[in-house]
Amino acid sequence: MSRIKTTRQPSSKKSEKQKDWPAVVYFWAIGLGLLSYAVVEIATHDTWPHPIHWLAGIIGGIAGIGIGWLWYRWRGDVF
């Protein structure tokens, strides 16, 4: 009788490493979020309610994620 050699394979996909986002995406998201919040805060200081400023920051952060990924595709990461 011959023995059959088998290799052990991981039983689940949890063992695979999950990759993080590149640093340039975080930089763009945080930077554009803070910048858009500050611009709307200065431009509409006493005229609009404060949640509008938060909304502008969130929208700027989401736009920063997209710009960061485009930057990463074209220019690479910053480190």
Q: Where are the alpha helices (DSSP H) in 16-78?
A: 23-43, 50-75
Contact 71, 28 (CB under 8 A): yes
Spatial CA neighbour of 26 closest among 74, 75, 72, 59: 72
Please give the chain's pLDDT, 79 residues, in tens: 667 766 766 555 554 567 899 999 999 999 999 999 999 999 998 888 888 989 999 999 999 999 999 999 998 888 7
Predicted TM-score (pTM) above 0.75: no
Residue 23 contacts by C-beta under 8 Å, 6 or more apart in sequence?
77, 78, 79
Task: Supply the DSSP symbol for 1.
Answer: -
Domain ranges of the chain: 21-75
